[in-house]
Amino acid sequence: MSKIREFIKENSLSFVEGSRNTSCVTIIGYALHLGLTQAELEAELQPEIKEDGFILDEIDRLFAYCLKNNYGKFWSSKEAKKQYKF
């Protein structure tokens, strides 16, 4: 199982309506921490993207923003380690 898949499962992240945006931002930040590109993240999430095109739209909309604002840095903090399993 990939680190992204394991992260989603371990943290019970969901792509249901109402939580998709938050889950996408969280996953993008973690993916940046792992050093994944947008294309690599999209490849990891292909099953979910096929079911719900909103996920791809969110990744397209947010990935550059999260990269520019260093969302990957959060995952090195004590706070991240308290909030999430990874």
| Tens digit of pLDDT at every position of the chain (86 positions) | 799 999 999 999 999 999 999 999 999 999 999 999 999 999 999 999 999 999 999 999 999 999 999 999 999 999 999 999 99
Q: Which helix (H) or strand (E) holds 2?
A: none
Domain count, the chain: 1
Residue 36: domain span: 3-75
Q: Which helix (H) or strand (E) holds 16?
A: none
Which pair of tokens denotes residue 2?
């990939």
Look at residue 44 and tell me if it is in a domain.
yes
What is the pTM for the complete model shown?
A: 0.94
Question: Looking at residue 62, what is its pLDDT?
Answer: 97
Look at residue 19 and tell me if it is in a domain.
yes
Rounded to the nearest 10 degrees, the angle between the axes of helix 3-10 and helix 20-34 is 140
Question: Looking at residue 73, what is its pLDDT?
Answer: 97
Residues 6+ positions from 27 with CB-CB distance below 8 Å: 4, 7, 8, 13, 41, 45
Look at residue 81 and tell me if it is in a domain.
no
The residue to which tokens 């680190």 are assigned: 3
